[in-house]
């Protein structure tokens, strides 16, 4: 994944010295990706984070804790560092607190396929995220977890796919307990969404910045 510009390279008609601070910010901010994992209590947020970070599944977690991790992964043959916030949620809220939404660049929105309640809250929460971010588009990947519990399923895959299409985001059913590959794919998909979104936003700023200098 190539960077659109490197320090010193002019992005418009500005002189290299005036552009450098801007480009340095652009390059660093493109590289800093922050992901928050949101979902109602018990959907498997911690299990998904730990599975992604350690490739292991651990059955039980400290429900009271909210953990932030810094990790590096390989995306399209490039090393990408990002921060991962495993949010804490109680029965009612979805973990989408102001500070979390301001901090994050993108969101893994998790429900459990064994709990319709955790699925039904997704659309309103996505709208809340967009309002709080004051953005028409917020990078999101919709994840239906616990797909291994076929006997307890309450939400089918087609419903998840339809909701994701309505929300304009990617969708994956995964199982933190059985399948590390799809869990990694879900995080990588969101990472790419965020980087592409930031790049598009930066391109817009480049145009504005270039116009200012002309």
Ligand X SMILES: Nc1nc2c(ncn2[C@@H]2O[C@H](COP(=O)(O)OP(=O)(O)OP(=O)(O)O)[C@@H](O)[C@H]2O)c(=O)[nH]1
Q: Which residues bind ligand X (CB under 6 A)?
A: 39, 41-47, 59-61, 63, 88-89, 145-146, 148-149, 175-177
Q: Give the span between the Cα atoms of 94 and 43, in whole angstroms.
A: 11
Q: If 0-12 CB within 10 Å is exposed, 13-18 middle and 19+ buried, where does residue 161 land?
A: middle
Residue among 67 and 201 whose Cβ is closer to ligand X: 67
Strand, coil or helix: what is 194?
Answer: helix
The nearest distance, CB 110 to ligand X, in angstroms, is 7
Collect all residues with Cβ–Cβ distance below 8 Å to 41 and sequence separation of at least 6.
63, 89, 90, 91
The nearest distance, CB 208 to ligand X, in angstroms, is 40
Closest residue to ligand X, based on beta-carbon distance: 44
Strand, coil or helix: what is 71?
Answer: strand
Residue among 113 and 194 whose Cβ is closer to ligand X: 113
Residue among 45 and 198 whose Cβ is closer to ligand X: 45
Residues 186 and 174: beta-carbon distance below 8 Å? yes
Residues 17 and 214: beta-carbon distance below 8 Å? no
The nearest distance, CB 71 to ligand X, in angstroms, is 17
The nearest distance, CB 3 to ligand X, in angstroms, is 35
Strand locations in 146-192 (E): 170-173
The nearest distance, CB 66 to ligand X, in angstroms, is 8
Residue among 28 and 65 whose Cβ is closer to ligand X: 65
Q: If 0-12 CB within 10 Å is exposed, 13-18 middle and 19+ buried, where does residue 41 land?
A: middle
Q: How far is CA 137 from CA 50, 148, 168, in A?
A: 28, 31, 9
Residue among 5 and 39 whose Cβ is closer to ligand X: 39
The nearest distance, CB 30 to ligand X, in angstroms, is 30
């Amino acid at each position: 994944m190539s960077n659109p510009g490197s320090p010193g390279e002019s992005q418009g008609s500005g002189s290299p010295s005036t552009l450098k601070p801007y480009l340095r910010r652009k390059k660093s901010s493109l590289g800093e990706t922050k992901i928050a994992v949101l979902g109602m209590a018990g959907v498997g947020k911690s299990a998904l984070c730990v599975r992604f970070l350690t490739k292991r599944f651990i059955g039980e977690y400290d429900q009271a804790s909210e953990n932030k991790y810094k990790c590096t992964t390989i995306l399209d043959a490039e090393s990408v560092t990002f921060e991962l916030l495993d949010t804490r949620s109680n029965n009612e809220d979805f973990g989408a607190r102001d500070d979390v939404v301001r901090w994050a660049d993108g969101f893994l929105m998790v429900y459990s396929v064994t709990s319709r309640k955790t699925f039904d809250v997704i659309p309103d929460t996505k709208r809340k995220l967009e309002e709080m971010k004051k953005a028409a588009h917020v990078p999101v990947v919709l994840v239906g977890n616990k797909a291994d519990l076929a006997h307890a399923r309450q939400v089918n895959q087609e419903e998840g796919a339809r909701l994701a299409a309505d929300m304009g985001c990617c969708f994956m059913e995964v199982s933190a307990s059985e399948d590390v590959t799809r869990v990694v794919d879900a995080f990588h998909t969101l990472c790419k969404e965020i980087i592409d979104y930031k790049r598009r936003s930066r391109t817009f700023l480049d145009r504005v910045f270039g116009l200012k200098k002309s």
